[in-house]
A and B are shown apart, each in its own frame.
Chain A
Amino acid sequence: MQWEIVIGLEVHAQLSTQSKIFSGASTGYGALPNTQACVIDLALPGVLPVLNRGAVERAIKFGLSVGATINSPSIFARKNYFYPDLPKGYQISQYELPIVQGGIVLIQIEGGEKIIRLTRAHLEEDAGKSLHEDFHGMSGIDLNRAGTPLLEIVSEPDMRSSAEAVAYAKTLHSLVRWIGICDGNMQEGSFRCDANVSVRPCGQEKLGTRCEIKNLNSFRFLEKAIDYEARRQIDILEDGGVIRQETRLYDANKDETRTMRSKEDANDYRYFPDPDLLPLEISPLWIDQIRSSLPELPQIRKERYVSELSLPAYDATVLTNSREVGDYFESTVKLLPAQTKLCANWVMGEVMGQLNKEGIEISSCPIMPAQLAALLTRISDGTISGKAAKTVFESMWQGELGKDVDALIQAKGLKQISDDVALEGLIDQILSAHPQQVSDYRKGKEKAFNSLVGQIMKATQGKANPTQVHSILKNKLEQ
């Protein structure tokens, strides 16, 4: 039987505020245990939460950038469960009337684009951290993370493969960084995914029973966990079994998912509106202000790169993966507007390649857009070949000669020979030295032509302008 995999994702994006969602404690990462957990985070008696404007603003930013409805009023609710890293005995979250409702995310898949619908995105507080190493048979609790603002982004079950789920997660990841609401650091847990996975026979409308896989903190694990889980469910169904609705954990070491808790003992969270927090009203004026502060969104910029800069869709996608890369490209192309494709190739190729190799971000790139543009100008005006430009690029990267393009070309003797008279003389010499190839070519052997070009390049140490070499050589051979 053919099976269809159905996936919905819940993404927790940690909002990049300075202080917590309901207290004035710092959200900084990596502090000593409990040094950033104030009396509100500890839930000492008598304290009250006060909502952080910065967290609300970031949620609205997100809502606007996915074309969602911003609910006003929006309501905070208590989600009740017991765990020592949740000192209040409930998490403040949203249930009815989340701040963001609906919206869509466009993902790039093989053969085009696909719309993934969002159900909602709501604000909530993170819990603390439990350390289960041995403290004389006890657990240690660090509440620094308790109260950190999260935006939980819930999609509809619109994805049909692990590849689509990864494309969606990556698109969201790039979007939250692009609009500056989350640093996207997955190692530090700033962006984590839960996947709801079910399978059904192809053509069947009714959804299968789903399992939720918790806390996938890398795109690779997300992909592998979904593939494993779908395979597991298909195997059970093909053997005539039934899927139990449950929460599962992905074990990266064993590459498998296993039961965390089943539906029967699943928590009944008994949500109810939090009486400590009033309904959140968001004025249309505030929404307008936030809308006008939004940067050009990646989707819009991508379309502009295709329509205005005539770049292929693939290039436009790569260059809008992050705002920093997009801005770098944009600054380069602004200085060389006639060479959009050349700029795109170099940013995607040499620049990103070298950054990846050294594991650094584009913000620390040693070559500034203006310096790259200066180099590319020398390719486009025929001063140097693309190959020579790579040599200059490497030297600039190392900071040689103050990264001065022309000084480097001069010092390394990379200037192309573009002088027609000089080239003609040289080509005449080569032709008389290789009569065999000349007669081969004239007899119709195309290969002989390339061999002659090779000889010319060799004689000039690769510095002859290839376009000129081609036309002069062709003229001479066809005389």
Chain B
Amino acid sequence: MTLTVTDVKRIADLAYIEIDHGEAEAVLTQLTGIFNLIETMQSIDTSSVDPMSHAQSVTQRLRDDEVTETNQRESCQAIAPQVEAGLYLVPKVIE
């Protein structure tokens, strides 16, 4: 798979990262390198290997369904830039 500058700009867009054209070119070279590495790895036959979904071979611990958290709104909101009526205020997200 060949990556283009357009792909890089789209990925940047999805990740909300602002990059200029020069940076995009540089990132393209780096990403292409990573893609080549992946291609090399994919040429290895792994059909007899179980897919690894986590770096450790342990399984998920579960907790009992109990309410253990108390209301910490005051301390949480103490570090928020802006709050009102118990709400966190953010720049308007709807047109």
Contacts and interface: CB of A to CB of B under 8 A. Distances in A.
Interface of A: 17-19, 23-26, 32-39, 42, 44, 50-56, 73, 75, 80, 82-84, 97, 130-132, 135-143, 267-268, 270, 273, 275, 277-281
- Interface of B: prevailing SS: loop
Given A267-B14, A279-B53, A132 B93 contact: yes
A140 B85 contact: yes
B60 interface: yes
B60 A34 contact: no
Closest 7 CB pairs of A and B: A54-B65, A24-B68, A140-B87, A33-B86, A38-B69, A53-B62, A281-B59
Given A138-B82, A141-B88, A38 B72 contact: yes
B91 A51 contact: no
Contact of A24 (B67, B87, B88): B67
Interface in B15-40: 16
Contacts, number: 127
B62 A278 contact: no
Nearest to B72: A38
Interface residues of B, number: 36
A190 to B, nearest CB: 17
Contacts of B60: 51, 277-281
B65 A19 contact: yes
Nearest to A278: B60
A73 B89 CA distance: 40
B59 A39 contact: no
A90 to B, nearest CB: 11
Contacts of B87: 33-34, 131, 135, 140-142
Contacts of B68: 19, 24
A137 B93 CA distance: 10
B58 interface: yes
B76 A50 contact: no
